[in-house]
Amino acid sequence: MNATLRPQTVVPAPKVTLGPRQPAARPAGKDGPAVDVRDFSFFYGPRQALRNLSFSIERKAVTAIIGPSGCGKSTFLRSINRLNDLIPGIRQQGDILVEGTSVYRPGTDLVSLRQRVGMVFQRPNPFPKTVFENVAYGPALNALVSRRDLPDLVERCLRQAGLWDEVKDRLDEPGTSLSGGQQQRLCIARALGNQPEVLLMDEPCSALDPIATQRIEELIFDLKQHYTIVIVTHNMQQAARVSDFTGFFDQGQLIEFDQTERLFTKPAHERTEAYITGRFG
């Protein structure tokens, strides 16, 4: 059973390193996948966490990664923006291409990579700064816009994150004073501040109540018009609700990757079926 069901329309990737801190010129390959995983393996010391992953993530769609705890979902997500780099003793094989540029090629500029690939974490982690400063953090750091244009950008990001109406009168208050759901939407707005191409979400609703979860899910639906979204979730209903494509991971392997509807109704693999029907995991 081939893991990649969609045709691998791999455009030969132009060898462009991500440039320093400027809205990177998008290389050709607009028709190719937004994220292209090529025979990617990942090791924590002697332990292999990801095994020869190969699949493609479609642009401006939501791709969900599901699987039992410890299957490597989060490791995979954090491999895309190289947030695993901090951990001592890690190594990887293969490569991941983001919009045609290699992530693991020597000389990749991490700053520019992470500006193009935003991330939302499991627990809301706003900075203890004001709402405005939280959203302005990325653009100010990376000098994406002039100081004069920051307020417009902040408003646009907060609107996109569906938070503007709730916080427009409290932009000067600490981001940490918002409710949990609002904090998570603030973190989404903060990630949008960098004007990324890809948005990674690591179980973004696991710390939220059902109503806040619903708001985030609606938001994800709106955001996919502009962004490529990869979401890790342990909640299969959530994956079924929000995603267009779903990948099922188990023990570091990609067991199955398909359109969400097909994966949940006609899983091709026995283990996928066992997992989505709740027989293990």
Partner 1 sequence: MTALEETAVRSAQPVSLERANYGDRVFKLVLTAAAFLIPILLGFLVYELWSGSRLAIDRFGFDFITSSTWDPVAEEFGALPLIFGTLLSSLIALVIAVPLSLGVAIYLTEFAPKAVRQPVAFLIGLLAAIPSVVYGLWGIFVLIPVLRTTAFPLLRDALGFLPLFQGAIYGPSMLAAGIILAIMIMPYVMSVSREVLLAVPNTQREAALALGATRWEAVITAVVPYARSGLGGAVILGLGRALGETMAVTMVIGNRHEVAASLFAPGYTMAAAIANEFSEAVGDLHLSALAFVAFVLFLVTVLVNAGARLLIWRVARGSGAGSSAL
Q: Which residues contact 163 (CB under 8 A, 6 or more apart)?
A: 182, 185, 186, 189
Closest to partner 1 by CB, 80 vs 240, is 80
Closest to partner 1 by CB, 138 vs 162, is 138
Could you tell me the smallest distance in angstroms from the CB atom of residue 141 to partner 1? 6
Site string for partner 1, 68-97 (x = CB under 8 A): -------------x-x--x-x---------
**Under 8 Å between Cβ of 82 and 110:** yes
**Residues touching partner 1: how many (CB under 8 A)?**
30
Could you tell me the smallest distance in angstroms from the CB atom of residue 255 to partner 1? 28
Binding segment toward partner 1, per CB under 8 A, in 29-37, 58-66, 134-142, 215-223: 134-142
Give CA–CA dist 59/245, Å, rounded: 11
Closest to partner 1 by CB, 125 vs 206, is 125
Q: Which two tokens stand for residue 270?
A: 């026995």
**Under 8 Å between Cβ of 249 and 275:** no
Single residue of 38, 114, 215, 271 touching partner 1 by CB under 8 A: 114
Single residue of 29, 33, 100, 118 touching partner 1 by CB under 8 A: 118
Single residue of 51, 59, 60, 123 touching partner 1 by CB under 8 A: 123
Give CA–CA dist 165/158, Å, rounded: 9
Is 112 an interacting residue with respect to partner 1 (CB under 8 A)? yes
Single residue of 138, 181, 252, 267 touching partner 1 by CB under 8 A: 138
Single residue of 79, 194, 243, 246 touching partner 1 by CB under 8 A: 194
Is 190 an interacting residue with respect to partner 1 (CB under 8 A)? yes
Is 121 an interacting residue with respect to partner 1 (CB under 8 A)? yes
Single residue of 4, 127, 269, 281 touching partner 1 by CB under 8 A: 127
Tokens 């000098």: give the residue. 143
Residues binding partner 1 (CB under 8 A):
21, 81, 83, 86, 88, 111-112, 114-115, 118-119, 121, 123, 125-129, 137-138, 141-142, 174, 176-177, 187, 190-191, 193-194
